[in-house]
Amino acid sequence: MTNVRGEAQLVLAMGSHTIRIERLGFVTESLAVNVLPAGNRPIVVRLHDESLESQVVVVTATRSGTVVGDQPVRVEAVPEEEIEENLTIQPGNLSTLLNELAGVRMESTAPGLGGATLQIRGLPGRLTQVLTDGLPLMGSEPAGFGLLQTPPLDLQRVEVIKGVASALYGGSALGGVLNLISHRPGGEPELLINRTSRDGTDVVGFASGTLTPSWGYTLTGGAHDQQRKDLDGDAWADLVDYRRYTFRPRLFFNDESGRSLFITAGLVDEDRAGGSMPGRTLPDGTVFIEALHTTRVDGGAVGQIPLDDGRILSGRLSATVADHDRTFGDQRVQDTQTTLSGETTLSGRGQGHSWVLGAAIGQDQLQVGDVPGVGHTYTVPSVFAQDEFALADWMILAASGRVDVHSDYGTFFSPRLSAVFLPAERWTIRASIGTGFAAPTPFVDEIESTGLGVLDPLTGLQAERAASASLDAQWVANGWEANVSIFGSEIRQPLEVRPGSEAGRLMLVNGDGPQRAIGGEAFLRYVTGPLNVIASYTYLDVTEAADGGGRHAADRIPRHTAELAALLEDEDRGRIGIEISYTGQQTLLDNPYRTSSPSYVELNALAEIRFGETAIFLNAINLTNVRQNQYDPLLRQVPGAGGQIITDLWAPVAGRVFNLGVRLEF
C-alpha cells in the first residue's frame, strides 16, 4: 500500500523484476525494473482513469482528478445507480435527482412558468455554478429553467461541491459547484418512453459508438411535452404547458500516451405557457398570459497533453448563446445571454504535492433591448493556483487561490484552505474554509418570477462577498456509510429587491446587512446484497437583515428536511423501492394568506421489471397528494411585487402523479 503521498518502497533482490501497480478505478500498469547493487532512483508511474461499474469515483470538479475518498475538499458524487433510479421518475429533467441530496433542493423561482434553481445549503440558486463535463454550457449562471431542460439519460455521475468555491471557478461559484459528467463511448444504445397521469410525455434516446480505437462518440436527444392543467378550478394553470426538444452530440479522443480531446455541442428549444387557461377568465374577470420561448445553443472542448516531465497541459473553451422571449401579462421582453469561457492549466505531481496553475478569461453579456439599463457586458481575466500536499501519512492539506480582475467591479482575491485527516482506518475528517465574490445580476428570484420588464435600471450596485466554513466526518465499514457535517456561510452586500420608481416596478439594491446560513447534515447508507437503504437529515437556519434593524428568517427555506429511502434491486429482474420525505415549516415573507407554511410529508413508490433488454417501470409520486392549493389559493386578491398575481410556491402543485414507461436497450 502507498502512503497518502502515493509513495511506496519495495526491497527486492538484485536483478530483473516485474512490478504491477493496481488501484480500483484506474487501469493496471506493469513495468520491468532492474535492481542494481548501488540502488535505484525513484520510479514515477502515472495511472489512467478506467470506467467501472463500481462505487470508485475519480472526481474532476476539484481539478485534481483524485479519487473522491482522498479529496481534501468534500465532494458528493452521485453514482450512476442512483441516477438510473431517478431517471424513470423524471426522464426530462434533474429536479428529482438533485432534491434527494442532503442540503440541496430545487427552489421555485418562476411559479407561473414552473421554473426552479438549485439551492445549496440555503444560498440563492443564482450563486451555484453549473458545469457540464467541466464546461459552463448553461451560461455563467443558469436561469430558472436550465436544469429543468437537462435530461439525465446520458449522465454517468453528478459531482457537488457545497459552499464557496470561487477559488476554483471564480464569481459564478459563490454558493457551490454542480458538475454533470456524461457517459463515455461504449454504453448500450437506449430509448426511454414515459407517460404521466398529468398528461406529460417524454421520449429520450442515447447512442454511442467507436469510430477508431482512439475516437468515439455519444449522441443524446429528447422530446418532452406537458399539457396545461388547472387542478383546482380557478382558471389558473397549476401545471404549465411546455414542448421541448434537446439534442447533444459529443466526440471523444484518447490515445495510449494520455492525450485526450472532448468536443460537444448542444441545442435546446422550448416553449412554455402558463397563466390563465385558454378560453377562460380568472375570478376577477381578467386574462393573464405567461409564456417563455427559449433557444439555447452551446459548444465546448476540453483537451489535455502529457508533457515529458510528467506534467499535464490542459485547456477548455466554451460558448453559449441563449435567447429568451418572455411574456408576463401585458409585458413582452426579449433578451440574449452570451457566455464565453477559456482556460488553460498546467498540473503535476511530485514530492508529496499535487498542484495546478492556471489562467482563464470569461465574458458574460446580457442584451435586453426592451429594458434600458439592465443589460451588461462583463469581462473577467483570472489566474489561479492549487496545491494538495501530504503533510503526514494521516493528513493532506489543499490550498487554492484565485485572482479575478472584473471589468466593472474591480479585482478580487478568493482563497480556500481545506484539509483531510485520516485518524483511524475507517474514519475521514475534512475541514474547509474559503471566501469569494459574485458580480451583480438581475436574475434574482423576484425578477425570475416576473421577468425583466418590471426592473428599474441597475445603478450603484456592489459585488456580493461571501465566506463559508465546514467540518465533515465520515465513517465507512461493512456496508455502512455515515456522514455528519456542520457548516456556516455569510454573504455580505447581498442583492435584494425593493419597490421601484413607480407602482408595479422593482429595483435591485445591496442589502443593509449580511445573509447568514448555519446548519448541519447527516447522511446514512447501508448496502447489503440487493438492498440499499439511505437516510438523510438537514438542518438550516438562514437569516437576513430586516428593514428597520434586527434579523428575520429567509423566505421559503425549511429549517428541517429529511428523507428515508429503501431500494431492492436485481440487475436481471428489476427494482422496487419506497421513499418518504419530510419538509418542515418555512417562513413566508410575501404570502397574503399565511406567514409560515405547515410541514408536509411526501411518499413515493417505485417499481421496475426487466425482460431481457427491456424494462417496464411504474412510479407513484407524492402518494400523500400534498398540494399547495389545498391549503390556500395560488391566486392573490391583490397583485404582489412587480405585478405577480400568484403566490410563491412552497409546496408541490401537481399532487399525486403516476408515470408509466418503458426503457429499451439495444
User: For 592-650, how does the pLDDT look when each residue is reduced to its tens digit (9 = 90+)?
Assistant: 999 999 999 999 999 999 999 999 999 999 999 999 999 999 999 999 989 999 999 99
pLDDT in tens, 352-380: 788 999 999 999 999 999 899 999 999 99
In a domain, 57, yes or no: no
Residue 626 lies in domain: 68-665
Please check whether residue 467 is in contact with residue 408, taking contact to mean a CB–CB distance below 8 angstroms.
no
> Looking at the structure, do residues 584 and 439 belong to the same domain, yes or no?
yes
Answer for the pair 346, 63: CB distance below 8 angstroms, yes or no.
no
Tell whether 56 is covered by a domain. Answer: no
- For CA atoms 581, 593, 120, 92, give the dihedral sign: positive
Which of 392, 378, 387 has its CA nearest to residue 350?
Answer: 387
Q: Are residues 41 and 91 in the same domain?
A: no
> Is residue 26 exposed (0-12), middle (13-18) or buried (19+ Cβ within 10 Å)?
middle
Task: Give pLDDT, residue 97.
Answer: 86
- Whether 42 and 137 map to the same domain: the answer is no
Give residue-wise pLDDT tens across range 373-416: 999 999 999 999 999 988 888 899 999 999 999 999 999 999 99
b/e per residue 71-102 (b: at least 16 CB within 10 A):
bbbbbbbbebebbbbbbbbbbbbbbbbbbbbb
Q: Are residues 40 and 170 in the same domain?
A: no
User: What pLDDT does 54 receive?
Assistant: 40
pLDDT tens, residue by residue, 221-262: 999 999 999 999 999 999 999 999 999 999 999 988 889 999
The three-state DSSP-derived secondary structure of 338-363 is EEEEEEEEEEEEECCEEEEEEEEEEE
CATH number at residue 625: 2.40.170.20
Q: Evaluate whether residue 269 is within a structural domain.
A: yes
| Residues 133 and 44 grouped into a single domain | no
pLDDT of the residue at 52: 44
* pLDDT, tens digit, 9 for 90 and up, residues 275-315: 999 999 999 999 999 999 999 999 999 999 999 877 999 99
pLDDT at 573 over 60: yes
Domain assignment of residue 324, yes or no: yes
Mean pLDDT (whole number) for 94-100:
86
Q: Which range in 103-107, 125-129, 216-220 is most confidently predicted, on average pLDDT?
A: 216-220
For the chain, the domain total comes to 2
State the pLDDT confidence band at 102, using cuts at 50, 70 and 90: confident
**Beta strand residue intervals within 504-638, DSSP E:** 506-510, 515-528, 531-545, 551-553, 560-570, 574-583, 600-611, 614-621
Claim to verify: residue 373 and residue 241 sit in the same structural domain: yes
Among 216, 217, 219, 215, CA closest to 205: 219
Q: Answer yes or no: do 371 and 399 share one domain.
A: yes
Q: Bridge partners of 363?
A: 340, 379
pLDDT band of residue 589 (cuts 50, 70, 90) is: very high
From the centroid of its chain, how far is CA 205?
A: 22
For the chain, the distance separating the N- and C-terminal CA atoms, rounded to the nearest angstrom, is 41
**Inside any domain, residue 60:** no
d(CA 413, CA 239): 44
Length of the chain: 666
Same domain, 527 and 658: yes
Considering only the C-alpha atoms of the chain, give the largest distance between any 2 of them, rounded to a whole number of Å. Answer: 97
User: In what helix (H) or strand (E) does residue 109 lie, and over which residues does it extend?
Assistant: strand 104-110
Q: Evaluate whether residue 58 is within a structural domain.
A: no
For residue 293, how many C-alpha atoms fall within 13 Å in the half-sphere facing its CB?
Answer: 4
Of 381 and 512, more confident = 381
- 141-182 pLDDT, tens digit per residue, is 766 788 999 999 999 989 898 988 888 888 888 889 999 999
Residue 143 backbone phi and psi in degrees, to 5: -75, -170
- Cell (9 digits) for 449: 418570477
40 with 73, same domain? no
Split at pLDDT 50, 70, 90, the class of 68 is low
Residues 142 and 20 in one domain: no
266 pLDDT above the threshold of 80: yes
Neighbours of 593 (CB within 10 A): 12
Assess contact for 511 and 497: CB atoms under 8 A: no
pTM over 0.85: yes
* 619 inside domain: yes
pLDDT digits (tens, 9 = 90+) for 537-563: 999 999 999 988 899 999 999 999 999
Q: Residue 79 above 80 pLDDT?
A: no
Residue 22: the pLDDT is: 86
- Asked if residue 596 and residue 466 are part of one domain, the reply reads yes
Average pLDDT over every residue of 264-274: 97
Q: Are residues 8 and 86 in the same domain?
A: no
Residue 63 lies inside a defined structural domain of this protein: no
